[in-house]
Amino acid sequence: MSETESFSDHPRRAEFVGFAEQLADISRSLLSGNSAGAAAQCKSESNPATEFDLVVESTLRARINDQYPRHGIVGEEFEPERRDAEFVWVLDPIDGTRAFAAGIPVFTTLIALCHRSEPVIGVIDAPASGDRWVGVVGSATRRNGVETSTRDLRSLEDAVVAWGYPEVTLLEHEAGANALRAATAWRVYGSGSFGFGSLASGALDIAVESGDVVESDVCALVPVVNGAGGWCTDAFGEPITLHNGTSCLAAGTRELHAQAVRLLNSGNQALDTRGARGAELPKAGADRRGLEMPPIWPRRLSQRTTDEGR
């Protein structure tokens, strides 16, 4: 039995989910109305931070330490605390800092809970749009309190792709990234984790982050996408965990995910018939949530047909 399966029956599961949403409420209250004009400082050439990144993360850390002093914390802005604990909270106070500083409303706060390194709760909170996706192992993902699910698309040629920042694509994915972009209908750039939430609501079909990401950028995405009926791994087709989170590739269906993994890694010599780096690809008919697949809900974020934008 995997850790995600054991967490489905954990006696404090509902408590932890409620606490994750409390953290999102705190973050939203600190960020709402404070984006445009926020001064950004670069932690690295491609990784800026604002004063709000620091304030939000330090506030959330204090709340976690007060409520669960034995839980670990891994965040974007500060050193890890108790990283080897059974339960570890993973925080990105502002995913999309450049968008936040520019006043572009696609930034989010990411909150995840990992149980023995596996992401079991994920929250994507978008203060500017008012959207919140909550994914929990063993349950259907909810967007603003309503169950949501991915679009049932199987072919790359009709797929809409959300891509983080192409300029920081991993070197081993450069050739495959060009091939994947050429094989799909059209692309949306710079949406970050908001794109993964949009995928979970059926507005997009594939979302990619390959390069210059860490665990705090991706752990929350896994329960959200998987709970909506999609598939979310790293860009090599391997599971994302607290110790493996340097890329992310999600798709709305198993078939689309398998095609995207193979194409993205088409320039990678480690790719074989079992998937990139020998990773086991998803089996037909399986459901990442351990539930029956829900019906496809109307796409609330976009009513695009497959013929638009070609």
Kindly state whether residue 284 falls inside one of the protein's structural domains: no
* pLDDT above 60: residue 254: yes
Over residues 169-219, the pLDDT tens digits come to 566 677 888 888 889 999 888 889 999 999 999 999 999 987 778 999 999
| pTM exceeding the 0.85 threshold for the entire prediction | no
Determine the pLDDT at residue 275: 43
- 131 labeled binding residue: no
- 84 labeled binding residue: no
- 25 labeled binding residue: no
Alpha helices in 50-145 (DSSP H): 51-67, 97-102
* pLDDT above 90: residue 62: yes
Kindly state whether residue 155 falls inside one of the protein's structural domains: yes
Determine the pLDDT at residue 291: 32
Find the mean pLDDT for residues 33-49.
54
* pLDDT above 60: residue 237: yes
Kindly state whether residue 97 falls inside one of the protein's structural domains: yes
d(CA 113, CA 80): 14
* Most confident stretch, 49-58, 85-94, 271-280, 281-290: 85-94
* pLDDT above 80: residue 230: yes
- 92 labeled binding residue: yes
Range of the domain at 29: 11-269
Question: What is the pLDDT confidence band of residue 3, given thresholds at 50, 70 and 90?
Answer: low
Average pLDDT, the chain: 82
* pLDDT above 50: residue 116: yes
* pLDDT above 90: residue 43: no
Question: What is the pLDDT confidence band of residue 2, given thresholds at 50, 70 and 90?
Answer: low
Kindly state whether residue 296 falls inside one of the protein's structural domains: no
Over residues 117-138, the pLDDT tens digits come to 999 999 999 999 999 999 999 9
Find the mean pLDDT for residues 240-266.
94
Kindly state whether residue 305 falls inside one of the protein's structural domains: no
**CB of 226 within 8 A of CB of 119?**
no
Residue type, 148: T
Question: What is the pLDDT confidence band of residue 279, given thresholds at 50, 70 and 90?
Answer: very low
* pLDDT above 50: residue 306: no
- The rounded percent of the chain whose pLDDT value lies above 70 is 77
Find the mean pLDDT for residues 265-294.
44
Kindly state whether residue 291 falls inside one of the protein's structural domains: no
C-alpha distances out from residue 247 to 164, 167, 169, Å: 10, 14, 9
Kindly state whether residue 90 falls inside one of the protein's structural domains: yes
Nearest to 228 by CA among 243, 258, 207: 207
Q: Which residue has the higher pLDDT, 42 or 117?
A: 117
Encoded tokens for 258: 């398998």
Nearest to 26 by CA among 1, 63, 52: 63
What is the number of domains present in the chain? 1
- 280 labeled binding residue: no
Which has the minimum average pLDDT: 100-104, 163-167, 235-239? 163-167
Kindly state whether residue 1 falls inside one of the protein's structural domains: no
Find the mean pLDDT for residues 270-286.
41
**Token pair 């169950």: residue:** 147
Determine the pLDDT at residue 283: 40
Determine the pLDDT at residue 250: 98
Specify the CATH number for the domain of residue 75. 3.30.540.10
Determine the pLDDT at residue 293: 28
Determine the pLDDT at residue 100: 87
Q: In a 3-state reduction of DSSP, which class is residue 128?
A: coil
Q: How far is CA 158 from the centre of its chain?
A: 22
Determine the pLDDT at residue 266: 85
Question: What is the pLDDT confidence band of residue 166, given thresholds at 50, 70 and 90?
Answer: low
Encoded tokens for 105: 């409303």
